[in-house]
Amino acid sequence: MSTLPFKQNSIIFAPMEGVTEGPYREVIQRFFGDWDYYYTDFYRIPSVGNVNVKTLIKHFGEAYIQKSAHTKQTAYQFLTSEIAQTDQAISLISELDYHHIDLNLGCPSKKVNSNKGGAYLLSDLKALEKIIKQIREGFKNTFTVKIRIGYHDDSLYLDLLKLFEDCGVDGITIHARTRDQLYKGVADWSYIEKAVKVSNLPIIANGDIWTIEDIDKIFDQCNPYAVMCGRSALKTPWLASIYKEHQGNLDFISDEFLLKVRAQNLDLYFYELDKEYRKNGLVDSTILKRFKAFCRYLFDDYENHEAIRGRFLRAQNIHEFRAHLDQFVENYS
Ligand SMILES: Cc1cc2nc3c(=O)[nH]c(=O)nc-3n(C[C@H](O)[C@H](O)[C@H](O)COP(=O)(O)O)c2cc1C
């Protein structure tokens, strides 16, 4: 039986650096809360100096770690390497009695990989095994990993799956690309299918699950324990709600309907994010920078999406951004 803190067929909001911090998760949980589970973005365990509990709490979001609605539904994600202070971080997170940690083994960043962390570890089974065992011994609650299918290539894929199972990991999220592929091409879901067949661990499918139809398709095709949405969640933060409301009737949802819902929800999304960020002390310029980053995929489904996005990206201040949003909502809802 699975020891995961979320049920089978869950739809999970992926960890995303610069996005899934406390205030963002709060808004999604409160207003678009049909996602079954969330992850923090990764906390990089340092190699030099001490880890302290305050930093861990701050990374989760001080205002949110006291709220059981948050902690119960959120995995705390780490990124580490052989020389990082893993024992110390794990002991502190255990003292906080945190229920679920996830190890990021998919990060493709050159800096992270050159320090032998993230996806690099998928190419070094000896170092990986040491780290996995170290964490497993130090942490008694749920411990999962999030991987790609390999570093340069997929040659160690089956060995990796076996290693995680042998070392007592509780579940594996698989982004079905190698590290070298970055985001190129399309994620190859046949690797998910393979993992579901060969591993006894619950497999969480990730990579290019963009639409409600994709969610159905990957469950049908690969039979994973759950699915995780990254860029699609950023594009459509209400994707899980639409899926759950219309499951079984997906064919009857028109593109026009989805675009209308989008315009209405965007109003709420930015309004509530603005409020929550301010509560956390973020200033106008930081909020504007984030909002512009969030525009990356939001308008992709409109014919003139580049022009729409361009207007938001050129906003000189938060008031201009808001004015464009009001105009957009009026035009499209
Ligand atoms: C902006 C951004 C930040 C990300 N940050 C993280 C992270 O902190 N931890 C992690 O495991 N993956 C991170 N990822 C990877 C996603 O969680 C996910 O695995 C990847 O985007 C593939 O899924 P998708 O096709 O649904 O986007 C990030 C992705 C994006 C786009």
What average pLDDT score do residues 112-121 get? Answer: 97
| Mutation test residue for ligand 1: of 12, 13, 16, the one with most atoms within 8 Å of CB | 16
pLDDT exceeds 70 at position 324: yes
- Read off the pLDDT of residues 147-203 as tens digits, 9 standing for 90 and up: 999 999 999 999 999 999 999 999 999 999 999 999 999 999 999 999 999 999 999
Does the pLDDT of residue 96 top 70, yes or no?
yes
Q: Where are the alpha helices (DSSP H) in 32-143?
A: 53-60, 68-72, 86-95, 110-114, 125-138
Q: Single out the residue of 272, 278, 303 nearest to residue 294, CA to CA.
A: 272
Q: What is the pLDDT of residue 248?
A: 83
Q: Counting atoms of ligand 1 from 1, which one is nearest the CA of 232?
A: 26
DSSP 277-330: HHHTT--HHHHHHHHHHHHHHHTTTSTTHHHHHHHHHT-SSHHHHHHHHHHHHH
- Kindly indicate the confidence band of residue 308, based on its pLDDT and cuts at 50, 70 and 90: very high
CA of 56 to the centre of ligand 1 (A): 20
pLDDT of residue 80: 98
Atom of ligand 1 nearest to the CA of 14: 17
Instruction: Report the nearest atom of ligand 1 relative to the CA of 234.
Output: 31
What pLDDT score does 214 carry?
97
Name which of 27, 61, 69, 30 is nearest 272 in CA terms.
Answer: 27
Q: Ligand 1 centroid to 175 CA: how many Å?
A: 9
> Cα separation of 137 and 147, whole Å?
20
Residues 10-251, CATH architecture:
Alpha-Beta Barrel (3.20)
What pLDDT does residue 74 have? 98
Taking the C-alpha atoms of residue 223 and residue 6, their distance in angstroms, rounded to an integer, is 16
Cα angle 230, 236, 242; round to 5: 110
The residue contributing the CA closest to ligand 1 atom 19 is: 175
Mean residue pLDDT across the chain: 97
CA dist 232 and 135 (Å) reads: 31
The answer to whether residue 2 scores a pLDDT higher than 80 is: no
Ligand 1: which residue has its CA nearest to atom 1? 16
pLDDT digit string (tens) for 219-261?
Answer: 999 999 999 999 999 999 999 999 999 888 878 889 999 999 9
Query: What is the interface pTM, i.e. ipTM, of the complex?
Result: 0.99
- Which H or E element spans position 194? helix 190-198
Give percent of the chain above pLDDT 70. Answer: 100
Please, are residues 31 and 268 in contact by the beta-carbon 8 Å criterion?
yes
pLDDT at position 1 is 63
Tell me how far the alpha carbon of residue 232 lies from the centroid of ligand 1, in angstroms: 10
Which pair of tokens denotes residue 316?
């000189």
Tell me which residue has its CA closest to atom 16 in ligand 1.
Answer: 230
Between the CA of 231 and the centroid of ligand 1 the distance, in Å, is: 7
Q: Which atom of ligand 1 approaches the CA of 210 most closely?
A: 26
Atom of ligand 1 nearest to the CA of 102: 11
Nearest to 202 by CA among 49, 20, 3, 33: 3
Confidence band of 143 (pLDDT split at 50, 70, 90): very high
Q: Whose CA is nearest to atom 9 of ligand 1?
A: 15
How far apart CA 285 and CA 217 sit, in angstroms, is 41
